Structure 1
Amino acid sequence: MAIPLTADRLLTALRNEGLRVVEHRDWRTHNRNHKGPFGPVHGVMIHHTVTEGTQQSVELCYNGHSSLPGPLCHGVIAKDGTVYLVGNGRTNHAGLGDDDVLRAVIDERELPSDNEANTDGNRHFYGFECVNLGDGKDPWPAAQLEAIEKAAAAICRAYGWGAASTIGHLEWQPGKVDPRGFSMDTMRARIKARLGRPAGSTTTPIPIEEDDVSAMEVLTYRNEAADKRSVEETGQRIPDFYGYVVQTHGLARTLAAQVGALTATVTTLAEGGGLDAAEIQAAAEAGARAALAELGDALTNEDQEA
């Protein structure tokens, strides 16, 4: 039976993993234990705060709000990677989730889909709220992602759990989307790699993958932000890498569609016997040259307009 870590053991585990930890107010005795037990514990759950700014996020997670009293987690992970401890014991972070998911976490096997809300997650999970708006656009700095990895690994190491004991809120409770902006599968891979080395070791992070935010959405968002800054600072739009990639991506897709249509036309002509081999080859080459010229002209014009 996995009993909760004492405040001292939790603090030591996090610091031994190489984390900068801040003890916020009376976190050691701040909990919701009067509403139910904390334990047996079986895993770690990751969330995003839907807020910005470290101090206000920490205070919100400590105090809670009118409809959900605090503490709202055990630790708040800031964008610079600092972990602020705000609760010790039962906290209001997980809510009701799927008992099938809990059993999978306990067995450390592949998670089933979360289609029920029938089990008290606040009793069984440590919770970390990570400062992020959760809109799919707010960035996840490398320092923050590393701190999430370390915090989860610290608790898993303390209990002898594997990386499969860490889940996202979206994997526990139907309708939840947090943490949004990175893949929990990739995060678990990072945690697994860390657990394979001594606590506090330096590791090479596995490149994080996005979840439901496509790469082009991220590039477009970054390009829009760069455009806004350049106009504000110089009065004109300055070309940037992300904008160039976005533009090239669109033009390449157009080119692919044109080549696809050309191929279909040539195939039809060949099957129908309307042209001989030389004429088919000439038509294909002319079409390809025209498409490439259009792509080149468009990119040139983009540079000039910028």
Structure 2
Amino acid sequence: MAKRKREITEAKIERFIKEGRGQGTGNDYIPWLRVQDVPSEGRATRGVGWTTGRRHELLSDIERDYCYLLDYSDGVSDIREQFPLLPLEETKLIAERIGVKHPADPKTGIAIVMTSDFLVTYKEKQYARTVKPFSELENERTIAKFEIERVYWTERHVDWGIITDHDLPDILIRNIEWVHKEYHNNNVSELGVFVIQNLQKILSERLSSGENIARGCSICDEQLGLEIGTSLALFRHFIARKIWSVNMNERIIPSHPAKDFMINVTEEKQAKGG
């Protein structure tokens, strides 16, 4: 199989622009960089977002974790990752003005299009965020590139900031990760309203009484004649959809009771969520 050429050329930049990269919003947004465009260290991921309904191009663990937090936030209405700082001439001029060398491809020497890891729409206001491990903040060259990025967004009156691994609440993120893939659960429509309502009634009563999650789900599966694991998947679905809630700041452990379990909406509305 031929190796993918990742070198940056002027023709490649023009092609990306023609492809619409960095353009669009929501489900229609196309990231400037995709997983296949950058060298992989085994940490790049593609996850379908709750907020956008599209597959996100996440190039590191810390980007993935931050995206989980954004997805979980009620105030976030759009998430655009790998957002390009265009036009290229502007960042080149900024670099020259502040006395910083503009990033360039090491092989071709062509100036690269810089990107912000995330451009987030939160309560109708935009925020640009760079997401990096705290250890990288000690690198002078990294800080210099951040300064180009900061000036670019400041001139657009967009709030810019740096998120590090020290800023991310690990327990909350791991809980979001555990329920994330069940946000869209086909069983909701396949099982039908009657079964879902019965499942919610049986399981919520057991969880409210303090029974541990795994046992409550197992008994629910048995009583309703469901495939083993169905009720646990739906428990995760209800938490992801915020139909039910638990203490997300304490690790959810199936062999333990659901901490601070609460029903947030009526059973009628619950059964219609899919």
Pick the structure with more strand per residue: 2
Which structure's CA Rg is the greater one? 1
What band does the TM-score fall into relative to the shorter chain? under 0.3
- Relative contact order higher in (CA < 8 Å, ≥ 6 apart): 1
Pick the structure with more helix per residue: 1
